[in-house]
Amino acid sequence: MMARKLTRRRQRAIAAARAGVGTRFRVQGRTVGLGLDCVGVALLAAAGAGVRLGPVPPYALGGLHDDLLAHTLRALGFRRVRRSRPGDLVEYALAPGHRHLALISEHGIIHAHAGLGRVVEGPAPPDWPVVAHWAMPGIR
């Protein structure tokens, strides 16, 4: 089966997230070279694709926030999709109440890895439970 060619907006989203690889992990970080968290990587990718999003409410890593991420993504205009493609987001449930976002790339995922302390790109860990896949607003 032949792979579908990525749209320019998807290519730009991936390139923007990839520009953050190596940036240190920082909760609520939003700046390449200074600090990013998983939401920061997603926002970076969206901006690179030309997607304008509203403000993201403050959040904490701990606590029971199972539905908070999905609610926030919907409020920002993301839509849940059954089949993901590079340039979409994947939501993981790493622990009870703990959600994590990553951008799907042609080589795996790009995400802010708290354990490694930086943004990385590589294969998705097979033991990370997938909750949902999300497409950015206006991206086909």
20-59: per-residue pLDDT in tens? 999 999 999 999 999 999 999 999 999 999 999 988 887 7
pLDDT in the model for residue 63: 62
| Boundaries of domain holding 83 | 8-135
63-98: per-residue pLDDT in tens? 666 678 888 899 999 999 999 999 999 999 988 878
Residue 70 lies in a domain: yes
Residue 3 lies in a domain: no
93-125: per-residue pLDDT in tens? 988 878 899 999 999 999 999 999 999 999 999
Domains in the chain: how many in total? 1
Amino acid (one-letter) located at 102: A
Residue 115 lies in a domain: yes
CATH number of domain containing 115: 3.90.1720.10
Residue 96 lies in a domain: yes
Residue 2 lies in a domain: no
pLDDT in the model for residue 127: 95
